[in-house]
Chain A
Amino acid sequence: MSNKPKFAMYWAASCGGCEIAVLNIHEKILDVDAAFDVVFWPVAMDAKYKDVEAMQDGEITLCLFNGGMRNDENEHVARLLRKKSKIMVSFGSCACEGCIPGLANFSSIKEMVDTAFTTITTDNPDNLRPQTSYAMPEGIITIPTLNTVLKTLDQVVDVDYYMPGCPPESHQIAAVVDLVIAALNGKAELPPKGATIGAGNSTVCDECTRKRHEKTIKAFGRIQLTHTDPELCLLEQGIPCNGPATRSGCNARCPSAGAQCIGCYGPAEGVVDYGARLIAAFASVIDSDKPDEINQILDGLVDPAGQFYRFNLAGSLLRSSKSAQKG
Chain B
Amino acid sequence: MTEETKPFEPVMIGFTCNWCSYRAADMAGISRMKYAPNVRLIRLMCSGRLDPTFVFKAFAGGADAVLVSGCHPGDCHYATQNYKAMRRFYLMKRVLNQLGIESGRIKLLWASAAEGQIFANEITKFVEEVRALGPLNWNKTSAEIPVETKEEVTA
B91 → A minimal CB distance (Å): 4
List of 9 A-B pairs having minimum Cβ-Cβ separation, nearest first: A305-B98, A321-B60, A276-B52, A283-B87, A276-B53, A283-B88, A327-B139, A279-B52, A283-B91
Say which residue of A110, A286, A319 sits within 8 Å of B141 (CB atoms): A110
**Total count of chain A residues near the partner, CB < 8 A:** 39
Within A262-301, the residues touching B (CB, 8 Å) are 272-273, 275-277, 279-280, 282-284, 286, 288-289, 291, 294-295, 298, 301
Interface 1/0 per residue, B35-57 and A, CB below 8 Å: 00000000000000001110111
Q: 10 A-B pairs, CB-CB below 8 angstroms? A: A111-B142, A273-B56, A276-B53, A276-B55, A276-B56, A283-B87, A284-B87, A291-B153, A316-B56, A316-B99
Within B86-143, the residues touching A (CB, 8 Å) are 86-88, 90-92, 94-96, 98-101, 136, 138-139, 141-143
Contacts of B29 in A (CB 8 A): none
Q: Which residue of A lies closest to B87 (CB)?
A: A283
A298 touches B83 (CB 8 A): no
Chain A interface residues toward B at CB < 8 A: 106-108, 110-111, 272-273, 275-277, 279-280, 282-284, 286, 288-289, 291, 294-295, 298, 301, 303-306, 308-309, 316-321, 323-324, 326-327
Contacts of B61 in A (CB 8 A): 321
B22 within 8 A of partner (CB): no
Main secondary structure of the interface of B (DSSP, over half): helix
Q: How large is the interface on B (under 10, 10 to 19, 20 to 34, 35 or more residues)?
A: 35 or more
Contacts of B32 in A (CB 8 A): none
A280 touches B51 (CB 8 A): yes
Assuming the contacts A289-B73, A291-B90, asked whether A279 and B95 have C-beta atoms less than 8 A apart, the reply is: yes
Say which residue of A111, A284, A318 sits within 8 Å of B88 (CB atoms): A284
